[in-house]
Structure 1
């Protein structure tokens, strides 16, 4: 179904009001949009040059040893020139069993020089275009993909619904407390390599159902890392303490935190392949940020407790995320068209945008001294900066975060700063080709690279054509 048919901002605004989206507002004046998004933001005493962020968007295009590949470098060259002053460097595994696919970035002693090179390229390109890198922040996102690791899963606990959706056997072993404690040191080792490569900011990835995110919902897990909020935050808190002890204040510490898990969805053929939640028990005993009596709705009490703990442990900047792309992609990424084989939107995408803004706004207002990055803007297309400006102006967020949209339109920030608006011919249409490519594993490297075939046709047009042709050949056998 096509949802985005608005000819004017006023039409979109009227639809939002009709749907009851009280947290979705827009700044109409272009000069005000430019002025607001050009505002500097102070993070841990460091002045960031504007209020625009590129989210950590994985390209699945590293070499097989985790070294940034040619397309990885190209992507960050484009981001560096684009004008955003917060460029969140994508998920980089801290060890081999933490990679979500065969071409995910993985920093090692053998390839640390390649990370030094790509960071140097980012800084060189940005300085050449924007005059300085003193106000540029590039956090490296350290991760372990947990349940979604390739080729072997590492799970924090058994949630029967997520087990079903992810084809995880009920007897699959759960990582032990001792193994988790040893893994904390792997994060510290990864941080040491990041420092050697020149990074001055680190992110701990606690979202999208990966290992640290799954720990946040492990309410029924026994031992030191499950049950209470103090236990579920223990891993990240321990790592933060070890990083401060080893590196002092060298790193600006950031975190991308999944603040509302919801439940897994599947497509219902009887309803036109619309997404429906798997049947869930009540009260719902799992998950993070969920209402126990209605897990399709958020309850942020647990989240606020966790943020309080993380802020005390040294987090300087929080990137607010929700949902899991593996089991409820519409929650995190409201879309027009699902990737092939996935379910259709179970709600108007504006309601998904509203959920993002409602959650991020409540959290930012609750922690005014902790700058936060907002998510969920891409579906708004050319009107994304208008909504971002409204959120920033009202104190509902500090940074406008752009994800899929940046793959399609890496110089979006430049156009906002210079024109106060986006070019309708370049904005992401949320038709999910990038996600479809990310899910394709059927080539000699075990993974196709992900990008934007509609707006980066020269590079990703042939790639998606090859992926589809190989699928056709394999299906015909």
Structure 2
């Protein structure tokens, strides 16, 4: 019997994950024009399934193609049921015990210029449409419909994307000062969430898993800040929102830090060699949420740790590794599940190798962030270090950027 805490099963609502390792949602920009998975998408999820994690999140699937952030992102509308079913079947064929949850999202102001860019509250940009009350209510219905689509496709549940600067988190911000009952007070800012969850519950069966990913946004007026234009941390509402999720009978909460939508700016707390101590920011917030609720809590920030040969303080790699901190946090009940995103790109078989004790065979994530650079430039994304396809894609992207820079320079000189 495997004595690792990570190897122990865990109950999520009426279903059981066979272990406590999670593959977090990572958008890859490789769907077709309808939002259905391509062969490349299915290959990726097949490899994830070969890793035998307890739970796989299917990347941010869009509730509408009217406003979305990637040219080739996955969709979760009624016409996508067949495509979503292919992802479910691909995973279950390889790893029937792994739970499959689809993250569903409306990209709001993070939508690309090729679609309709909208916002919950005024941004100062006249080209960004501020949603009306009726439009917000219609988006609630879109989320409820998407939850139904996931169940029809055979998924075990959904992750309501209320993180990283997308619409689900934008509406929660202290910066949301709408005056129509969906902004201002905490009660009003959580109204969209509460109404959406209620509508979802009416569209799916009692066995369907409902949860959400939440994030402390390191931006002025973001979730977890002290005011509408403040960067000062105040986590009281962040914790209160997790408690609200439990009151709304959600089945888990996934905790994250930073605003991934602002990748190119300074508002990011994803652990890398430049900011290794941000690992502990993730752990601190996850522990805080775990102490506040009784539903299962999922942590993040673990991809940086690797085999312990990182830039965290300390001389002993074995006390800085993924295994050490995952086991420590699980044993101390600071989290219930441990998740990786970037590491699942670097080595899709990561979970199986960890649980089998074959840590010396793992291709560890370098946290170079090049996978994010690809997707933020609308390129198909994967590990640039270990996968030749994405290494070549990144080389071509750099070549293109150098050429554009040179062209701008020549125009300036003439």
TM-score, structure 1 as length reference: 0.77
Matches of 1:37 and 1:387, distance apart in 2: 11
- Structure 2 residue 336 is matched with structure 1 residue 398: yes
Equivalent in the alignment of 1:359: 285
Equivalent in the alignment of 1:349: 276
Matches of 1:60 and 1:293, distance apart in 2: 33
List gaps (5 residues or longer) in structure 1: 1-30, 128-132, 265-285, 337-344, 441-446
Which residues in structure 2 correspond to 1:90-101 (within 5 Å)?
A: 90-101=59-70
TM-score, structure 2 as length reference: 0.88
Equivalent in the alignment of 1:374: 299
Of the three residues 369, 379, 395, the one matched with 1:448 is 379
The Cα RMSD (Å) is 2.2
Alignment deviations for residues 21-56 of structure 1 (CA, whole Å, 9 cap, x no partner): xxxxxxxxxx99x61110111111322111100000
Q: 1:419 to 1:297 in 2, by over 3 A?
A: farther
CA contact (8 A) 2:159 2:212 kept: yes
Matches of 1:212 and 1:294, distance apart in 2: 19
Matches of 1:237 and 1:318, distance apart in 2: 15
Which residues in structure 2 correspond to 1:189-338 (within 5 Å)?
A: 189-217=145-173, 218-258=175-215, 260-263=216-219, 286-292=221-227, 295-296=230-231, 298-327=233-262, 331-336=268-273
- Structure 2 residue 132 is matched with structure 1 residue 155: no
Q: 1:378 to 1:297 in 2, by over 3 A?
A: farther
CA contact (8 A) 1:115 1:197 kept: yes
CA contact (8 A) 1:116 1:198 kept: yes
Matches of 2:106 and 2:368, distance apart in 1: 28
List gaps (5 residues or longer) in structure 2: 308-320, 408-414
CA contact (8 A) 1:97 1:149 kept: no
Q: Any idea what SS the aligned residue of 1:226 has? A: coil
Of the three residues 352, 356, 366, the one matched with 1:429 is 366
Matches of 1:46 and 1:172, distance apart in 2: 42
CA contact (8 A) 2:62 2:68 kept: yes
CA contact (8 A) 1:53 1:399 kept: yes
Equivalent in the alignment of 2:132: 176
Q: Could you tell me how far 1:475 is from its partner in structure 2?
A: 4.1
Equivalent in the alignment of 2:346: 408
Paired residue total: 389
Q: 1:414 to 1:35 in 2, by over 3 A?
A: same
Q: Could you tell me how far 1:299 is from its partner in structure 2?
A: 2.2
Of the three residues 460, 463, 466, the one matched with 2:396 is 466
Equivalent in the alignment of 2:101: 139
Structure with the bigger RCO (C-alpha within 8 Å, sep 6+) is: 1
